[in-house]
């Protein structure tokens, strides 16, 4: 299966640190969000694409494993990888590295499902999502 991976650099800002001088743990979930947005820009599937198609994709599961803290002044590299599934959901895996040392700081994953604009669960791939998967070779023509 073809791998779709996006990488972006993010500076660690002072406001993202806790009193111990390390990135506050909740900010890594924001970094995951930055990764998803960058992935969408690179691969042509943004949050606005969902909205334009009357679809929402709320996160229903997220995990984060902390390995080594980032600190103010560090630059992180967020690696966001699309994980293939036949189910009507979107799964991403994340790895965040310290750019200067190359050390792995965090790993994680997220799962999103499809709903209509009223929040009703959709159990099949929306048409625009199927077209996107076909475009990137993530499924065979049916």
Q: What is the mean pLDDT of each run of 10 residues along the chain (142 residues)?
A: 93 95 96 98 94 96 97 97 96 98 98 96 96 90 65
Query: Over 89-131, what HEC string results?
Result: EEEEEEEEEECCCCCEEEEEEEEEEEEECCCCEECCCCHHHHH
For residue 23, give the CATH number of its domain: 3.10.129.10
Q: Which of 18, 34, 100, 116 is the catalytic position?
A: 18
Which range of residues forms the domain containing residue 51? 5-128
Residue 43: predicted pLDDT:
97
Structural domains in the chain (count):
1
What gap in Å lies between CA 17 and CA 66, rounded to an integer? 15
**Is there a domain that residue 139 lies in?**
no
Residue 140: predicted pLDDT:
73
Residue 136: predicted pLDDT:
95
Catalytic (active site) residue 116? no
Residue 25: predicted pLDDT:
95
Residue 142: predicted pLDDT:
61
- Please name every residue paired with 89 in a beta bridge, in sequence order, or none if there are none: 113
């Amino acid at each position: 299966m073809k791998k779709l991976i996006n990488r972006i650099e993010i500076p660690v800002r002072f406001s993202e640190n806790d009193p111990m001088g390390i990135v506050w743990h909740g900010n890594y979930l924001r970094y995951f969000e930055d990764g998803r947005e960058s992935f969408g820009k690179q691969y042509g599937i943004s949050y606005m694409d969902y909205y334009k198609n009357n679809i929402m994709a709320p996160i229903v599961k997220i995990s984060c494993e902390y390995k080594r803290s980032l600190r103010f002044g560090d630059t992180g590299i967020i690696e966001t990888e699309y994980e293939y599934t036949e189910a009507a959901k979107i799964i991403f895996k994340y790895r965040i590295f310290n750019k200067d040392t190359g050390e792995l700081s965090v790993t994680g994953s997220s799962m999103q499902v499809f709903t209509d604009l009223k929040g009703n669960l959709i159990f099949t791939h929306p048409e625009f999502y199927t077209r996107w998967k076909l475009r990137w070779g993530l499924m065979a023509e049916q």
